[in-house]
Amino acid sequence: MVPAAVLFDMDGLLLDTERVYRALWYEAAERHGIPPASVGYERFIGLAAKECYRLLSMEHPGVDVAAFRQHIATGFQARLLAGDIPQRPGVATILAALSEAGVRRAVVTSTIRSLALKKLEISGLLDRFEGVTGGDEVEHTKPAPDLYLLGARRLGLDPRNCVALEDSPTGMRAALAAGCRAIMIPDLAGPPSGADWTVVQDLPSAIPLILRLSSAPEQAIP
């Protein structure tokens, strides 16, 4: 038997949005007199927006966080209005393979649910998933396990019978803490040194790993 479901992260995995956010983040940093290199966008990947801005305010106490955040929101809203939310390579391939194999699919993202739904709709992916769980629906977002626990529960499944696909270390930690088996497909941030994780180069490369798994909790990804 294949796993009961695959739980997908969204930004940087399904949608090619992390580079957009990074460019906007660095633009905002420069406007506020912060050297972009001192911000280090990659370490924020996978975190909820509120946590990113909390860390920013701690590290740069004089920054106008509201204005910083507004610059990013306005820039990304323009992309939304233009319908410019491209899919990551291999998305159509993996979704078709999982559908043919009868594997259920859901999205688990730190993005607030309303924005996640909008992104998925514009990108043409919303109807390919059974459910969407967003970061505003839990008390603790990634790297805490709450989002994956809720995403699995909404499908009526034990997270141990789900495979999570993630592009960031933050997301991988969340999925593994929830008991999911997890595969990393890095985008901007690779795995940390020494991490004993399953890592593949793209979404299609994850298909054979997923399809040869048993649903038994003790089955590990080779």
Which residues are designated catalytic? 9, 11
> What does each C-alpha distance from 144 to 45, 91, 112, 177, 186 come to in angstroms?
14, 26, 16, 7, 19
| Cα torsion through 36, 37, 43, 47, rounded to 10 | -10
Beginning with the edge strand found earlier in the chain, give each strand of the sheet holding 5-8 in spatial order. 131-133, 104-108, 5-8, 162-166, 181-184, 198-199
Burial class for 116, CB neighbours closer than 10 Å (0-12, 13-18, 19+): buried
Residue type, 141: T
Token couple for 93: 């391939």
Measured between alpha carbons, how far is residue 115 from residues 17, 82, 204 in Å? 13, 15, 26
Place of tokens 């106490």: 61
